[in-house]
A and B are shown apart, each in its own frame.
Chain A
Amino acid sequence: MTPHVILRVVSKFLIPLIALFAFYVQFHGDYGPGGGFQAGVILAASVILYALIFGLDEAKKAIPPSWVRIGMTLGVLVYGGTGVITWLLGAEYLNYSVLAEKSYNGQHYGILLVELGVLLAVASVMLAIFYAFGSREPDLSDEDW
């Protein structure tokens, strides 16, 4: 029997739901409270819960630190790239109206893209911070206490 069997079973149930809820918050941001920042934190929390229950090494196997580094950059680039696209289409930076024929559609697509970038960046940064603290070797081993 592995230890913490109840925790493991319950969190196995919860983790997919937490991740799903993150995306609900992400897309609900269009119509109500929510958005990329909150969703990113919730998405990262699901991975952090996984790491707490199954160990940091397992979590790093599921989401490798190299992905996290790329995710941080990609998030910024999706956000900034949206602005660059609007530049190429001849408008001001981040003027979403030119992204579609109707300006209100353009505003809609624009904010979706930008929020996606925020989601990626926030989730990756949260994980990067968690990995950085979690990977530190403790100065005292548990037996020394």
Chain B
Amino acid sequence: MDILSAYPAWLITHGAALLVVLPLLLGAITAILPRERLAWIVTLIVTLICTAAAFGLLLTIFGGETQLYKMGGWDPPHGISYVIDGLNTPVLLLISAMAVLCTIYGLPSVAAEVEPKKRAPFYGAFLIGVAGLLGMVATGDAFNVFVFLEVSSISTYVLVAMGASRDRRALTAAYRYLILGSIGATFFVIGVGFLYMETGTLNMADMARILSDLGGGSRAALIGFGFIIIGLGLKLAMFPLHMWLPGAYAYAPSFVTVFLASTATKAALYLMLRFTFTVFDPSFEYVGTVLTYVIISMAVLGMLLASLQAIFQTDARRTLAFSSIAQVGYMLLGVGIGTAASLSAGYLHLINHAIIKGALFFAVGAFWYRYGITRVEDFRGLSKMMPWTMGAFTIGGLSLIGVPFTAGFVSKYNLASAAASNGWWWAVGVIMATSVLAIIYIGRILLIAYFQDPPEVDGKVVAKKEAPLMMLIPMWGLAILSVVIGLNAYWMDRAADGAAQVLLLGVGG
């Protein structure tokens, strides 16, 4: 490919390690930089390089190559190997690209929301979080996943708590996230421990081989699977395990909310896919049972109940947070049905939802930045006060509902047709019902913003004050992207189909 030939060769051959090492090391340096502007510039450059590397890796994947990077030159299964294949590379690109957009948005937003002394460490923690997420997606070693899961979690706890200078409730939200997140990580590592007991290896590909030789393994593997599903379920906010999510999303700085909503839960969902389909196999009896009965029922319950809860929230950020839990349900439904079409649709929804929710949370953050409002009833007349920001919010909202010609429509349509071709018409009904609920909770905000007059202060209508350009660029970037995907989803479909292929056939795994 042409673009690929412009890349320096080392960026591709060492890309897998570079993605993790660069933000990790520079995160440590950034934390002690004396000036926040310097820290911001370093963060921007690092995330840009990561995005370039991830894009290059994606091009090699489209070119039909997969990569195995041996850390320290030790051969798998003894050494830690990083695997770059069709399943994880789109997620790598998603994480690093969202990190770039968040950083751009962060220049005005962090200055408004975080205390001056804490801004350079804030960027440091952010970079380390990026490194953790990229690491847990790129690695092919089950224990290494746990290490990076903790690296990313600990830095996100810190980032959520940084919201305390805006709203003290961020501290309790961060504490709750810390407790539940640690339980999730512990469950995960217990599960990996059981798997190690069963297979005697930590390399995922090796585990998969041994497990399939054993035909699913003994009860130890079964228990390990249970622990891993619960642990990752906590991390990705699967329905009854989502209690940490609304608080963390609502009270974290807007920068962090966007980053969490569009990357952290997505990386955990990727891990669930990776473990359920490539380490274990849906043909094992217990895995099939869990997928059909547990994952699908949780997905459907989450879609319905969290959407209902979203309708009754007074705070716009909490509305969007509950909507995120419902959207996780869609992705899990795709996972649970377990056909190539449904996996591809679920995977596509993972990426599309990250884009859509990113745009929505960017916009809500900008409303707070200008007017200090987060309650839905305070959104009166925002379409006149901040037309551009409200425009991006509207496109994101329509996309979330699944209006045709938006990204949300493509993935919901694919998911519904995958369910229908499996004969699961009730699942199609649930998708329709939750879309109607989404119309209610998004429509409620849009109605107030468009059809009520701006409030008056001291007898004068509140002046129009558009969000700064640095906020509008990433916001509109995502909004336009969601429309582009809605019009032509060729590349997205190709990436998602590639991922589904890795999941079902183990191609390149």
Contact = CB atoms under 8 A, between A and B. Distances in A.
Contacts of B21: 80, 83-84, 93
Contacts of A73: 28-29, 31-32
A94 B28 contact: no
B71 interface: yes
Given A73-B31, A92-B70, A87 B14 contact: yes
Interface string A58-84: 000000000001101100110011011
A92 B25 contact: no
A76 B73 contact: no
A93 B71 contact: yes
A51 interface: no
Contacts, number: 44
A96 interface: yes
B185 interface: no
A87 B29 CA distance: 19
A81 B21 CA distance: 10
A91 B72 CA distance: 8
B103 to A, nearest CB: 20
Contacts of B32: 69-70, 73
B69 interface: yes
Contacts of B14: 87, 92-93
A38 interface: no
Interface in B1-49: 10, 14, 17, 21, 24-25, 28-29, 31-32
A87 B16 CA distance: 13
A76 to B, nearest CB: 4
A91 to B, nearest CB: 6
Contact of B72 (A69, A81, A92): A92
Contact of A80 (B25, B31, B69, B72): B25
A92 B69 contact: yes
Contacts of A97: 73
A139 B25 CA distance: 38
A93 B72 contact: yes
Nearest to A95: B73
Contacts of A72: 28
Nearest to B128: A76
Nearest to B80: A94
A81 B32 CA distance: 17
A76 B70 contact: no
A55 B71 CA distance: 45
B72 A77 contact: no
Interface in B116-146: none
B71 A77 contact: no
Contacts of A93: 14, 17, 21, 71-72
A14 to B, nearest CB: 32
In this complex, the interface size class of chain B, counting residues with CB under 8 Å from chain A, is 10 to 19
B17 A92 contact: yes
B351 to A, nearest CB: 28
A87 B71 CA distance: 11
A96 B69 CA distance: 16
B132 to A, nearest CB: 14
B73 A92 contact: yes
A69 B17 CA distance: 26
B24 A94 contact: no
In the complex, which of the residues B21, B71, B72 has the most CB atoms of chain A within 10 Å of its own CB atom? B72
A15 B10 CA distance: 48
Nearest to A103: B73
B435 to A, nearest CB: 46
B152 to A, nearest CB: 16
A84 B73 CA distance: 14
Nearest to A90: B10
Nearest to A83: B21
A69 B30 CA distance: 12
A117 B418 CA distance: 52
Contacts of A91: 73
A94 B25 contact: no
A107 to B, nearest CB: 10
Contacts of B71: 92-94
Contacts of B69: 92
A93 B25 CA distance: 13
A77 B72 CA distance: 17
B374 to A, nearest CB: 31
B17 A80 contact: no
Contacts of A80: 21, 24-25, 28
A70 B33 CA distance: 10
B471 to A, nearest CB: 31
Contacts of B28: 72-73, 76-77, 80
A76 B29 CA distance: 9
A92 B17 CA distance: 9
17 contacts: A69-B31, A69-B32, A70-B32, A73-B28, A76-B25, A77-B28, A77-B29, A80-B24, A80-B25, A81-B25, A83-B17, A91-B73, A93-B14, A93-B21, A95-B72, A96-B72, A97-B73
Given A80-B25, A94-B71, A95-B72, 10 more contacts: A70-B32, A76-B24, A77-B28, A80-B24, A80-B28, A92-B14, A92-B73, A93-B14, A93-B21, A95-B73
Interface of B: 10, 14, 17, 21, 24-25, 28-29, 31-32, 69-73
Interface of A: 69-70, 72-73, 76-77, 80-81, 83-84, 87, 91-97
Top-10 shortest CB links A-B: A95-B73, A76-B28, A93-B17, A94-B72, A80-B25, A73-B28, A92-B73, A95-B72, A73-B32, A69-B32
